[in-house]
Amino acid sequence: MKNKVKLSAFVFVILAVTSGPVSANDTQILLKAFHEYGITKCDGFIAENSSLKSNWNFFISKHAGGIDGPATEVTVTQIFGSKGDTVKVEDTYIQTPNKCFLRQTWTLTFQGACSDNIDGNAWYVSTPMPDKDYTTYKNAGGIEMHAKEISMGNFRACIQEGSKRISSAHR
């Protein structure tokens, strides 16, 4: 019963949009999708932080019924790039009466070992966790990245995940 309650909290309304190369109308397509989901006061903030990249697909969702009070939360997941060089970014925006908030998460997957795919001049190990699959890194700006190496037969890959939080007054 406990699991059923937890699962019901994750009901989402989802819109999927597919496109090709970036065009001048891409920002308007993205902003229109946010407006349809109730985020109407954060256009400049969204355009600055979630512009669509080349060869994009995006999926936009929110909790069915919204969240409490005068706040609205919407998540856009963008997958862009090409085979062998694809990036997934999830941007969750919260619009309150006075501000816009963003939590951005990203996932990158590289073929090969993490030691070959993480620049030691830009990232340092902040939490080694030798008893786990992940290692946590930080950069000079304080951004954390969690990396995990996987292997199957002679194939190795490095999965890198990170996030950041920022906010802005309505614009």
Say whether pLDDT at 76 is over 90: yes
First to last CA, the chain: 44
Query: Among 135, 142, 85, 144, which Cα is nearest to 115's?
Result: 135
142-157: per-residue pLDDT in tens?
Answer: 899 999 999 999 999 9
pLDDT tier at 14 (50, 70, 90 boundaries)? very low
Residue 125 CA to residue 154 CA, distance in Å, equals 26
Contact by Cβ (8 Å): 117, 110? yes
Query: Among 36, 84, 30, 86, which Cα is nearest to 59's?
Result: 30
24-40: per-residue pLDDT in tens?
Answer: 588 899 999 999 999 99
**E strand or H helix that includes residue 35:** helix 26-36
The per-residue pLDDT for 4 is 34
51-63: per-residue pLDDT in tens?
Answer: 888 788 899 998 8
119-146: per-residue pLDDT in tens?
Answer: 999 999 999 999 999 999 999 998 999 9
Q: What is the DSSP string of 86-112?
A: EEEEEEEEEE-SSEEEEEEEEEEEEES
**E strand or H helix that includes residue 116:** helix 114-117
Burial 73-97 (b: 16+ CB within 10 A, else e): bbbbbbbbeeeeeeebbbbbbbbbe
The per-residue pLDDT for 1 is 40
**For the chain, which residues make up each domain, given as ranges?**
2-169
Contact by Cβ (8 Å): 39, 74? yes
Query: Among 63, 82, 51, 50, which Cα is nearest to 13's?
Result: 63
